[in-house]
Amino acid sequence: MIPPPSDQEELPAGAPPTAGARPCIALVDDDRNILTTLSIALQAEGFATRVYADGEAALKALRHNPPDLAIFDIKMPRMDGLELLQKLREKSALPVIFLTSKDEEPDEALGLALGADDYIAKPFSQRLLVARIRAILRRSEFTRSDAAEPEEGDTPETITRGRLEMDPARHRVTWGGRTVSLTVSEFLILEALATRPGVVKSRNQLMDAAYSEDVFVDDRTIDSHIKRLRRKFRAIDSDFDAIETLYGAGYSFADG
């Protein structure tokens, strides 16, 4: 019989992970059975895990010692998953997956608009969750399973557009030499725009760039991401106007 986890405790499952050897997943849920089950399942798949039974405890830990990815339940006491994400996004671009119930579609849309990278509706298969985790880790360049240096020519080229520099291999963005912290979805949307400056990308095209095929978002979500992108760049440069809106058509990146 495996005892329920306590806050900020890594569940024992075999030998303890070597520091830095495995991607670390933080689980935040007030249901101890879910924490125990998911933690054991993820450790069996090669991940290290940390678990938190409420949002307030998780927020402090995620800011102080961020994992590679976090999974939040939406419905939690004290601080729910949406509030946790909103507060986390003030200072962190940590990849986040939401766990939702079938009747929580408005929460799913709001979570994506706030900067979540994906969501999975309960009940879900552990295989699906693991696949989503691996996909996001690959996209965010946090995967540690491939430690070898890439062959010459395989590394994605740095994108330079005026004062913007994007390094897809390191998930790094700078504007005028100053770092801009972006979520995975924000990075992919900006990359889609900056790759072809001056070309208008529709909201549907940006959705395809930022989300997997089985994640459905609406126009408002893309608009929210664009607003967040502009806000982050304007925090560095108040004159930032490189992301242009063509009303009724979509968005483009002005190179110059």
Coil, strand or helix at 136:
helix
Average pLDDT over residues 150-178: 79
- Give the integer Cα–Cα distance in Å for 181 and 6: 31
- The angle formed by the CA atoms of residues 172, 217 and 169, to the nearest 5 degrees, is 15
Q: What pLDDT, on the 0 to 100 scale, is given for residue 14?
A: 31
Q: Are 128 and 97 in contact (CB under 8 A)?
A: no
> Taking Cα atoms as reference points, which of 229, 215, 242 lies closest to residue 117?
215
Q: Which CATH class is domain 24-139?
A: alpha beta
Q: Which CATH class is domain 159-253?
A: mainly alpha
Q: What pLDDT, on the 0 to 100 scale, is given for residue 113?
A: 72
- Give the integer Cα–Cα distance in Å for 243 and 256: 11
Q: Are 40 and 67 in contact (CB under 8 A)?
A: no
- Give the integer Cα–Cα distance in Å for 9 and 169: 32
At 176-202, the pLDDT tens digits run 999 888 877 888 899 999 999 999 999
Mean pLDDT of the chain: 79
Would you say residue 155 has pLDDT above 60?
Answer: no
| H or E stretch at 208 | helix 203-210
Domain ranges of the chain: 24-139, 159-253
* CA atoms 116, 213, 151, 194: torsion sign: negative
Q: What pLDDT, on the 0 to 100 scale, is given for residue 212?
A: 64
